[in-house]
Amino acid sequence: MRVFNFSPGPAALPKEVLEQARDEMLDWNGGGMSVMEVSHRGKAFVRVAEEAEADLRELMAVPSNYRVLFQQGGASAQFALVPMNLAAADSTTDYVNTGHWSHKAILEARNYTTVHVAADAGAPYLRVPPQSELNLSGRATYFHYTPNETISGVEFGYVPQTGGVPLVADMSSSILSRPLDVSRFGLIYAGAQKNIGPSGLVIVIVREDLIGHARAGTPLVFNYKAVADDHSMLNTPPTFAWYMSGLVFKWLKRQGGVAAMGGRNRVKAARLYGAIDESAFYANPVAKDSRSWMNVTFTLANPALDSLFLDQAADAGLKNLKGHRVLGGMRASLYNAMPLAGVDALVAFMREFERRHG
Ligand SMILES: *Cc1c(COP(=O)(O)O)cnc(C)c1O
């Protein structure tokens, strides 16, 4: 039985996409083989790869002076690859610390560049700093931030103004969740396993003029220019993850694209936060203007009931609601593949649980 899977990542995929992959598993494209068993350089797979890129470009309206890379190593590898590819050894770079993932990006970047922390929201990371609190160094090669912090559930409601300094964004948990003006960014990266497809793939969208300056010692397979020149086929890419991501992009187009998803995601988040706010039994501590649409955290008034809540939710087909171990409580991840019906089922369960135990 399919359940409503609120996992933060690897996360739920659209049922239709999984069904298509199942139907094509043994005999893909009429070749009598799985897509996993064919050459990445063969005509059939190259078409999959090109279509995936074209569909992503269309969905996000990626301007033609940006390259789209399909890489490995996850978003975490990009924490090092961004400075290695974009910043010289004597550079300064600006970073905003809004939580777990931006902090990790800062720690890694410090191995390659002088990091100036332009703002630090401070643990337990319950708000994002407004533009007025961003203290730019004035000499940064780029400005890095994490639009959505997956663990504490805080999200920027605005795109920072950096006065011409290229914006670099870790969009692992928010890419494709709402419309975005890509031209405001120098580089966007996102691990696939939250809002795109299976793990093992990370997507990088980078403005052409920013690549080609990788520092000496950058491994060739991680050199953005080399990867771009070889259409992400410098070596064997994660073909199955690429194929699955392509199916998800086609599904997104059928859903009406990012504008339609954004509308739905707004409604999903509002419905769950609304239920939390109107109850004295549940609480969300995040500042209202910083609340994530993708990762909604909440606590129970009595934490002794946490495990009962999780057990009964799982029995009701609502899975993976346990909050991150550093925060405790609950977290419901509402990525694109989570239908409104899943949120409604969760809200109904929460009301019933409160009625019985509140
Ligand atoms: C999940 C996540 C990461 C880490 O992704 P990996 O692919 O596991 O390296 C980084 N940043 C954000 C915002 C995430 O949500």
Question: What 3-state class would DSSP assign to 268?
Answer: helix
* Ligand 1 contacts CB of residue 74 (under 6 A): yes
Nearest-CA residue for atom 8 of ligand 1:
74
Q: How far apart are CA 333 and CA 268, in angstroms?
A: 11
352 has pLDDT over 90: yes
Of 150, 168, 297, the residue with max ligand 1 atoms within 8 A of its CB, to mutate for a pocket test, comes to 150
Nearest atom in ligand 1 to 150's CA: 15
* Ligand 1 contacts CB of residue 150 (under 6 A): yes
* Ligand 1 contacts CB of residue 198 (under 6 A): no
Mean pLDDT for 37-58 is 98
Q: Tell me what pLDDT residue 38 has.
A: 97
Residues forming beta bridges with residue 206, ordered by sequence position: 67, 187
* Ligand 1 contacts CB of residue 293 (under 6 A): no
- CATH architecture type of domain 257-357: Alpha-Beta Complex (3.90)
Mean pLDDT for 344-349 is 98
CATH 3.90.1150.10 boundaries in the chain = 257-357
Q: Tell me what pLDDT residue 315 has.
A: 98
Q: How far apart are CA 39 and CA 45, in angstroms?
A: 7
DSSP structural state of residue 322: B
170 carries an active-site annotation: yes
Smallest CA-to-CA distance from 237 within 206, 268, 204 is with 204
Q: Is residue 6 within 8 Å of residue 296, measured between CB atoms? A: no
203 has pLDDT over 90: yes
Smallest CA-to-CA distance from 275 within 354, 339, 178 is with 354
- How many angstroms separate the alpha carbon of residue 76 from the centre of ligand 1? 6
pLDDT bin (cut points 50, 70, 90) of residue 193 is very high
Q: What percent of the chain has pLDDT over 90?
A: 98
DSSP structural state of residue 307: H
* Ligand 1 contacts CB of residue 75 (under 6 A): yes
28 carries an active-site annotation: no
Q: What percent of the chain has pLDDT over 70?
A: 100
- How many angstroms separate the alpha carbon of residue 77 from the centre of ligand 1? 9
Nearest-CA residue for atom 13 of ligand 1:
172
Confidence (pTM): 0.98
Q: How far apart are CA 264 and CA 9, in angstroms?
A: 20
Nearest-CA residue for atom 5 of ligand 1:
75
Phi, psi of 170 (to 5 degrees): -90, 100
285 has pLDDT over 90: yes
Mean pLDDT for 141-157 is 98
Q: Tell me what pLDDT residue 328 has.
A: 86
Q: How far apart are CA 271 and CA 273, in angstroms?
A: 6
Question: Interior CA angle at 334 toward 127 and 74, to 5°?
Answer: 80
Q: Tell me what pLDDT residue 256 has.
A: 98
4 has pLDDT over 90: yes
| pLDDT digit string, tens, across residues 224-234 | 999 999 999 99
- How many angstroms separate the alpha carbon of residue 74 from the centre of ligand 1? 7
| pLDDT digit string, tens, across residues 119-131 | 999 999 999 999 9
Average model confidence (pLDDT) for the chain? 97
Chain-centroid distance, C-alpha 228? 22
Q: Tell me what pLDDT residue 325 has.
A: 84
Q: Tell me what pLDDT residue 358 has.
A: 85
- How many angstroms separate the alpha carbon of residue 31 from the centre of ligand 1? 35
Q: Tell me what pLDDT residue 327 has.
A: 83
- How many angstroms separate the alpha carbon of residue 285 from the centre of ligand 1? 23
Q: Tell me what pLDDT residue 1 has.
A: 81
| pLDDT digit string, tens, across residues 286-326 | 999 999 999 999 999 999 999 999 999 999 999 999 998 88
Integer angstrom CA distances of residue 216 from 64, 76, 90: 28, 21, 13
pLDDT bin (cut points 50, 70, 90) of residue 249 is very high
- Spot the catalytic one: 28, 94, 170, 322: 170
Mean pLDDT for 29-46 is 97
Helix (H) or strand (E) holding 262: helix 257-277
- Map tokens 């939390």 to a residue: 276
Q: How far apart are CA 128 and CA 98, in angstroms?
A: 6
Q: Is residue 205 within 8 Å of residue 185, measured between CB atoms? A: yes
DSSP structural state of residue 147: S
- CATH architecture type of domain 15-254: 3-Layer(aba) Sandwich (3.40)
Q: How far apart are CA 153 and CA 142, in angstroms?
A: 25
CATH 3.40.640.10 boundaries in the chain = 15-254
